[in-house]
């Protein structure tokens, strides 16, 4: 049976962030993830995790100016020092929150920067981040994201991510495989997951079109969930979708599509 983690950035967003932990637990989730913890004190988040007996399975490194439209700075040649400072900040949160892995958003290729320059910057930043995370026993992830939702995003394909893993050469660097983004960019979901399973440490889901809950679109989730069981995927599946008609109203998919 797949293990589902509530993405608190997307789910239960009718209530303030720190109140979403209670909502997730009441809905039967045992684990949560979210984009960023940095607007809150680590101790306040840890208190909610402990209060509701929830495991935090993922959050991201600082992304630059998110509200201003930035989606990561790891491929920005002029932001290397900021990236490294962000790694230290993320580690400090991770150690309080007991999260086992952090995701690094590659970012959009900046104007005036070549694709090759962006790639080399990303490679060096990932080497640095992986080494720093390894010192404290953490995994580092990179996530291919579709370039329709985020035009200009550097990392779009699973094979591209695997090639970067090979070049970085860090044994704690893995792929975060988002089914929604993968469907929009490349399809072949089952074959791709099987091919890259040893390099996939975390999976996220949403249906397409619309990025709503499983069962609302074209993706055959019962088949994929059965496949993940059959190939013994051992990680969590983050529910990073936009509820079509409220989170609780749509949660029946967890039993309807996995039984």
Model confidence over 27-38: pLDDT tens digits? 999 999 999 999
Q: What beta strand segments (E) does the chain contain?
A: 4-7, 31-33, 55-60, 101-104, 139-142, 173-178, 200-205, 237-239
Q: Could you tell me the pTM of the whole model?
A: 0.97
240 is catalytic: yes
Residue 1 clears pLDDT 90, i.e. is over it: no
Strand partners, 239: 6, 205
Residue 259 clears pLDDT 80, i.e. is over it: no
Active-site residue identified among 14, 70, 82, 143? 143
Mean per-residue pLDDT, 234-255: 95
Active-site residue identified among 186, 213, 240, 248? 240
Mean pLDDT of the chain: 97
Nearest Cα neighbor of 56 from 236, 180, 214 is 236
Model confidence over 98-128: pLDDT tens digits? 999 999 999 999 999 999 999 999 999 999 9
Mean per-residue pLDDT, 49-71: 98
CATH number of 77's domain: 3.20.20.150
User: What residues make up the domain containing 186?
Assistant: 4-256
Q: How many domains does the chain have?
A: 1
Model confidence over 162-185: pLDDT tens digits? 999 999 999 999 999 999 999 999
């Amino acid at each position: 049976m797949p293990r589902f983690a509530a993405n608190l950035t997307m789910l239960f967003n009718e209530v303030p962030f720190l109140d979403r932990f209670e909502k997730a637990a009441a809905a039967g989730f045992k684990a949560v993830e979210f984009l960023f913890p940095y607007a809150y004190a680590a101790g306040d988040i840890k208190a909610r995790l402990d209060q509701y007996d929830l495991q935090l399975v993922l959050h991201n490194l600082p992304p630059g100016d998110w509200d201003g439209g930035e989606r990561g700075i790891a491929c920005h040649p002029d932001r290397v020092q900021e990236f490294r400072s962000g790694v230290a900040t993320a580690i400090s949160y991770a150690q309080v929150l007991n999260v086992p892995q952090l995701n690094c958003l590659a970012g959009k290729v900046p104007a005036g920067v070549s694709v090759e320059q962006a790639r080399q910057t990303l490679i060096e930043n990932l080497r640095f981040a992986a080494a720093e995370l390894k010192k404290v026993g953490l995994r580092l992830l990179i996530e291919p994201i579709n370039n329709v939702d985020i035009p200009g995003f550097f990392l779009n394909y699973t094979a591209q991510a695997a090639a970067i893993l090979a070049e970085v050469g860090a044994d704690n660097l893995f792929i975060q495989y988002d089914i929604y983004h993968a469907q929009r960019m490349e399809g072949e979901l089952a074959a791709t997951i099987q091919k890259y399973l040893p390099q996939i440490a975390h999976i996220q889901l949403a249906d397409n079109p619309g990025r709503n809950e499983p069962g609302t679109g074209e993706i055959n989730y019962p088949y994929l969930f059965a496949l993940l069981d059959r190939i013994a995927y051992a990680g969590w599946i983050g529910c990073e979708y936009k509820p079509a008609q409220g989170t609780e109203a749509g949660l029946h998919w967890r039993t309807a599509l996995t039984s």
